[in-house]
Amino acid sequence: MKLLLSALVVIFTSHTASAEVSKYTSKYTRLTKCQAINTGEEDGQNDSYLEKCEGLNGYNVYIESGDTRSWLVLKNNTTEIDLQGTGEGDVYFPIVGGDKLEWRYRTLNGREELVALILRIAGNEREAYEKGISKSTSFLYVFRIHGDKYCLLDKAKTNDLAHRFSDNPNLKCKAYYK
């Protein structure tokens, strides 16, 4: 019996040691000090603008604005990820509310893969606004990225919870975009 238990322990530990566990890391790009592309003056739309910000993974990152709302658009040679409307069900007049965009990566078998974006959106708290009270709030929106497809996983108030959403490959999307 002791021999059988010893053999099982050796088999189990050698098997688990050889299986690589996914490791998740983050990289950040600034959403400040971006280059103005269109200030709205050229087309008479003084309430709109377009800025190009730093990107990663071949994506160009743009902040677009219309009236008092702002959102991100990411573009590369084959994909456009348009996040217009993010937060509109949660806050009034949503804006890009952070100074950085978090790019979440999974490393497996030595290969790094972009799996999620985490973006802070701020605005007026919906319930307070409906009562005529101006009260700011913000959420971290977590988007799963897979090639040219993306979806909203969930929203979070804390970075820790946002990371738990982004790092869970079994979490189902709440809203699909492409």
Annotate the chain with three-state secondary structure.
CHHHHHHHHHHHHHHHHHCCCCEEEEEEEECCCCEEEECCCCCCCCCCEEEEECCCCCCEEEEEEECCEEEEEEECCCCEEECCCCCCCCEEEEEECCCEEEEEEEEECCEEEEEEEEEEEEEEEHHHHHCCCCCEEEEEEEEEEECCEEEEEEEECCHHHHHHHHCCCCCCCCEECC
- pLDDT 10s digit of each residue in the chain, 178 long? 444 344 333 333 333 444 556 799 999 999 998 999 877 665 555 667 889 999 998 999 999 888 778 888 888 888 888 888 887 778 888 889 989 999 999 998 899 999 999 999 999 888 888 899 989 999 999 999 887 788 999 999 999 999 999 999 999 998 776 5
Q: What is the pTM of this model?
A: 0.81
Domain-wise residue ranges, the chain: 22-168
